[in-house]
Amino acid sequence: MSELHPADDHSDQPVTHPNDRAVIRLRPKSKPQAIRHGFPWVFADEAVLDRRTKALPPGGLAVLEDAERQPLGLVTVNPVSKIIARVMDTDPGAVIDGAWLRARLTRALQMRARIYDEPFYRLVHAEADGLPGLVIDRFGDAAVIQPNAAWADGMVEEIADALIDVTGVTTVVVNGQGRSRGLEGLAERLEVIRGTAPEAPVQVRMNGATYLADLMGGQKTGLFFDQRPNHAFTQTLVDGGEVLDVFSHVGGFGLAALAAGADRALCIDGSAPALELARGGAAAMGATDRLETRQSDAFDALEALAAEGRTFDVVVCDPPAFAPSKPALEKGLRAYERVAKMAAPLVAPGGYLVLCSCSHAADLTAFRNASARGIGRGGRRSVLIHTGQAGPDHPTLPQLAETGYLKALFFRLD
């Protein structure tokens, strides 16, 4: 059939490509070279949004063209999202089916299997693995899918089948919760779509520590694999002594410190279930008597520990994203500064302070400056000895800063 263009037709039907696919076109002032060089998103203000484009179903496929009508690739479209299109394939004629999914998953698995001895890792890290908006974490024979884009939510059954074919997992959980789904216009969902729900938390071994992951009731997919290399670096700083892990979740840094020989670790979190999992992990390691937990608001706990005169050889603060978006950036940076100010006095002389951020909007420089200001306001002098990021199972797409969200700063305090 002949191709239709916005200037040629005023019906409500989507523009179609010669291969019968719909077309979405960039505005004349947009920069198609960014797409050609690997940037995977098209924002709503960069595309021609006529009635036909808006009529495309969320998660549907279209050929992306520049203003000169040259094809740039195949995209998935969501007219209700600020990210109106995500690049699925540079081939505009690609077929997105089970074979395509298996090829992408196989490539992702091959890289993880080369790096990790055991099947506990992030298997798919969205755009960086060529599967935009899709996250999959693997826990041995189980996997948790986060379909954070409309196309992935619509194809989750096909994704689960391909996942089983490629990895051999027997249980697949869909955890469709979180802010990103709301931005896509997707409802929350939590269900087991293959196999049966785990009857108990899954034991995950990392860096010599044992963690318990609740795949049905925990945060995100049940465990944060991204901090694995930062847990490992923290272990190099442990020489007996006491470690404080604030915003600890299931004991990420605290249990790693115990595995490295810390005399004691104190984990603080606002979630009672998360702390119960931390205690379960310590029990699995034979370290129950060396772990102390405290359920509390983190800022209240930091204030209370200062009043008690407590100090620690290593203090780690790994808070949630205080700056999840640009409008929240300034407020978020003030919160990071406050954490550093309150945590610094709790570090013993010559000890170490580890400050983390998973905020997309706060880049490394802004986060480092806020942390340094906070340490200074806390009355301490510091040197930065190491800067960490997420592990290689969370690859960074160079063209998309959001894939490199995690920052970890390791300071030595005088």
Tell me whether strands 134-139 and 120-125 are parallel, antiparallel or unpaired.
antiparallel
CA distance 246 to 304: 13
Name the active-site residue from 267, 317, 356, 358: 358
Sign, Cα dihedral of 231, 237, 239, 245: negative
Is 267 assigned a catalytic role?
Answer: no
Both tokens of 31, joined, read: 């920069």
Using CB atoms within 10 A of its CB, is residue 10 exposed (0-12), middle (13-18) or buried (19+)?
Answer: exposed
CB 384 within 8 A of CB 368: yes
Buried b / exposed e along 52-89 (16+ C-beta atoms within 10 A)? bbeebebbbbbbbbbeeeebbbbbbbbbebebbbbbbb
The residues, any chain, with a CB within 8 Å of residue 244's CB and separated by 6 or more, are: 265, 266, 268, 305, 310, 312, 314, 315, 316, 346
Q: Which residues are catalytic?
A: 358
